């Protein structure tokens, strides 16, 4: 089975026995939990579209490992065209869900680990690349969702991993055995972990020799003994427990983040992709970050398309669509959104082949893309809130709308244009609230800032990639300066 159906995907999750905690209690059935389910629906869309002939070119491709048709989320990029299609696929899914669809981190991890293990093996004669290829063949064959796990809690940011008072604040190897290793620690901000079959762990930063035990990469099933998942709170998340769907804003879809604890988890030898090769940890981190910063030029743009559409509809429903300042604000939102997309396409079109044979984006342009993503969605959200008006944070609940006592007043006084039902206006305003203030804001606004590294991380990479020496030489040649 190279491409699962959405239904088969859900059933495959039911077979897992993940240890998930929410509101202080273990969740016995994460698949059907009303808080978690909208995020699962978002992942399901990656399967639904892959089985839709209309989207086959974007959503599916042929594996370079097996020659079989696979979901693009499990693919190793083979060309600039593959990199471009990745961004287009992500925009499409952002448009279809208006939420985080959670498979991008795993896809970006695949491509980073593939090339990094190849080069590690060349130096050390290890078998990490072979291990990874066999793992990825399994992922492709079963069309699995893999959670990419990079970020550690980090503790005192002024200290290295080995200097921390608590050594577990970075995930580390605590035991080396003949048949594998035992790891302890945690990974934070884990997008979609509860909807994943596997967790692919990577180091969080470039390590030094004294931090060798922290230079580790591997993958294990998400229900492996010792893995504990603590589900993150989101603004307005308990609205999903209420009757009706209006107050959710986005009635079907969502995303999630979590803290994932590794309490002495055993990793067998054939699932280890790095084990102490600290000199390759920085390469792996930078490559993963580059791929993931490219991703934001697709997924956030798709969600931005929905927010722009909602703001435009709100202006129509308010009777203000013809106002010149409204038109100008929507133009500005579109300009900002398409600029993000242009960056995603640009870093993809300038991609290059790695030593391992898969394709990598232009690293400078990928970091420029993500640097813009730390800014533009905030302005797009601000303009959407401006256009929506203050009512979108004053709306009563769906129960008030349906109330025999006050429902007629809600219907009467929250109506704007005569030909637009009040309920339609309320739906659009609730969606804007969800995307800018509610649960989806985690996957749009906040994730735009901190996902794939906070702004300073991109600025460091932009500095490294800026090639100032070449630019200064251009000036010297123009001015006939000889030194």
Annotation marks residue 277 as catalytic: no
Does the residue 309 lie in any domain?
yes
CA angle 220, 89, 257 (to 5 degrees): 45
Task: Record the pTM.
Answer: 0.97
Instruction: Report if residue 362 sits inside a domain.
Output: yes
pLDDT of 1 > 80? The answer is no
- Catalytic site residue 256? no
Please list the residues that pair with 183 across neighbouring strands.
173, 265
427-431: long-range contacts (C-beta < 8 A, 24 or more apart)?
427/246, 428/310, 428/313, 428/314, 428/317, 429/314, 429/388, 429/391, 429/392, 429/395, 430/246, 430/247, 430/248, 430/249, 430/392, 430/395, 431/98, 431/249, 431/250, 431/306, 431/310
Residue 426 lies in a domain: yes
For the residues 258-285, what does the mean pLDDT come to?
Answer: 98
Q: Is 236 a catalytic residue?
A: no
Q: Could you tell me the two tokens for 19? A: 């240890």
Token pair 């929506």 in the structure block, residue: 388
Q: Which one of the listed residues 104, 275, 343, 347 is annotated catalytic?
A: 104
Is 299 annotated in the active site?
A: yes
Q: What is the pLDDT of residues 79-113, one digit of tens each?
A: 999 999 999 999 999 999 999 999 999 999 999 99
What are residue 217's DSSP bridge partners?
Answer: 274
- Please pick, among 170, 231, 296, 359, the residue that the annotation labels catalytic: 296
- At residue 440, the pLDDT reads 82
**Residue-wise DSSP of 265-287:** EEEEGGGEEEES-GGGHHHHHHH
What is the pLDDT at residue 483? 86
Cβ atoms of 364 and 328 closer than 8 Å: no
Residue 409 appears among annotated catalytic residues: no
Q: With respect to residue 403, please indicate whether it lies within any of the assigned structural domains.
A: yes
Of 75, 77, 170, 257, which one is the catalytic site residue? 257
Looking at the DSSP bridge assignments, the partners of residue 259 are: 230
Number of domains in the chain: 1
- Interatomic CA distance for residues 451 and 441, integer angstroms: 13
Q: What is the mean pLDDT of residues 115-134?
A: 98
Q: Of these residues, 128, 292, 374, 444, which one is catalytic?
A: 292
> Does residue 447 carry a catalytic annotation?
yes
What pLDDT shows up at residue 439? Answer: 84
Q: Annotated catalytic residue: which of 47, 97, 100, 128?
A: 100
pLDDT band at 401 (very low <50, low <70, confident <90, very high): very high
Range of the domain at 434: 283-469
Mean pLDDT over residues 286-290, rounded? 98
* Mean pLDDT (the chain, rounded): 97
Check 60, 97, 120, 191 and give the catalytic one.
191
Q: From CA 104, how far away is CA 146, in angstroms rounded? A: 9
Q: What is the pLDDT of residues 52-69, one digit of tens each?
A: 999 999 999 999 999 999
CATH number of 381's domain: 1.20.140.10
Residue 156: inside a domain, yes or no? no
Strand 198-201 relative to strand 146-149: parallel, antiparallel, unpaired?
parallel
For 209, other C-beta atoms within 10 Å of its C-beta total: 10
- Mean pLDDT value across residues 448-457: 93
* Count of Cβ atoms closer than 10 Å to residue 249 Cβ: 27
Stretch 323-331: mean pLDDT: 98
For residue 20, being part of any structural domain is answered with no
Model pLDDT for residues 212-259, shown as the tens digit of each residue: 999 999 999 999 999 999 999 999 999 999 999 999 999 999 999 999
Measure the CA–CA gap between 219 and 268, rounded to whole angstroms: 9
Residues 299, 343, 347, 369: which is the catalytic one?
A: 299
442 pLDDT more than 90: no
CA–chain centroid gap for 22, Å, is 21
Residue 451 has pLDDT above 70, yes or no: yes
């Amino acid at each position: 089975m190279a491409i699962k159906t959405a239904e088969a995907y859900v059933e495959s999750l039911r077979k897992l026995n993940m240890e998930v905690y929410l509101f202080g209690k273990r969740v016995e059935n994460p698949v059907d939990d009303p808080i978690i389910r909208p995020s699962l629906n978002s992942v399901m869309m990656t399967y639904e579209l892959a089985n839709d002939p209309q989207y086959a070119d974007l959503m599916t491709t042929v594996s370079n490992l097996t020659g079989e048709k696979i979901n693009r989320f499990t693919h190793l990029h083979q060309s600039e065209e593959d990199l471009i299609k990745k961004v287009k696929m992500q925009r499409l899914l952002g448009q279809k869900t208006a939420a985080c669809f959670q498979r991008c981190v795993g896809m970006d991890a695949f491509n980073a680990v593939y090339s990094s293990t190849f080069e590690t093996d060349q130096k050390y004669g290890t078998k990490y690349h072979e291990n990874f290829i066999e793992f990825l063949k399994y992922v492709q064959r079963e069309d699995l969702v893999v959670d990419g796990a990079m970020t550690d809690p980090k503790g005192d940011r002024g200290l290295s991993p080995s200097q921390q008072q608590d050594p577990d604040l970075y995930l580390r190897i605590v035991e080396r055995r003949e048949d594998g290793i035992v790891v302890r620690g945690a990974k934070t901000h884990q997008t979609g972990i509860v909807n994943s079959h596997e967790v692919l762990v990577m180091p969080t930063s470039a390590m030094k020799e004294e931090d060798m035990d922290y230079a580790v990469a591997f993958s294990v099933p998400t229900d492996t003994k010792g893995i504990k998942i603590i589900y993150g709170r989101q603004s307005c998340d308990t609205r999903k427990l209420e009757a009706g769907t209006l107050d959710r804003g986005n009635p079907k879809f969502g995303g999630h983040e979590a803290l994932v604890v590794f309490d002495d988890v055993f990793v067998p030898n054939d699932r280890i992709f790095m084990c102490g090769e600290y000199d390759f940890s920085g390469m792996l981190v930078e490559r993963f970050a580059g791929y993931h910063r490219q991703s934001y030029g697709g997924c956030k743009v798709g969600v931005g398309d929905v927010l722009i559409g909602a703001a435009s509809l709100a202006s129509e429903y308010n009777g203000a669509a013809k106002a010149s300042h409204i038109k100008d604000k929507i133009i500005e939102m579109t300009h900002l959104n398409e600029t993000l997309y242009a960056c995603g396409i640009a870093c993809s079109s300038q991609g290059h082949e790695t030593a391992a044979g898969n394709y990598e984006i232009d690293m400078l342009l990928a970091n420029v893309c993500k640097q813009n993503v730390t800014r533009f969605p905030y302005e797009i959200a601000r303009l959407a809130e401006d256009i929506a008006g203050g009512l979108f944070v004053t709306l009563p609940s769906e129960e008030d709308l349906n109330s025999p006592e006050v429902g007629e007043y809600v219907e009467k006084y929250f109506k704007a244009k005569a030909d637009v039902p009040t309920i339609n206006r309320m739906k659009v305003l609730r969606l804007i609230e969800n995307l800018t203030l509610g649960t989806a804001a985690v996957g749009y606004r906040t994730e735009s800032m901190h996902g794939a590294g906070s702004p300073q991380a991109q600025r460091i990479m932009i500095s490294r990639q800026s090639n100032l020496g070449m630019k200064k030489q251009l000036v010297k040649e123009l001015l006939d300066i000889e030194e």
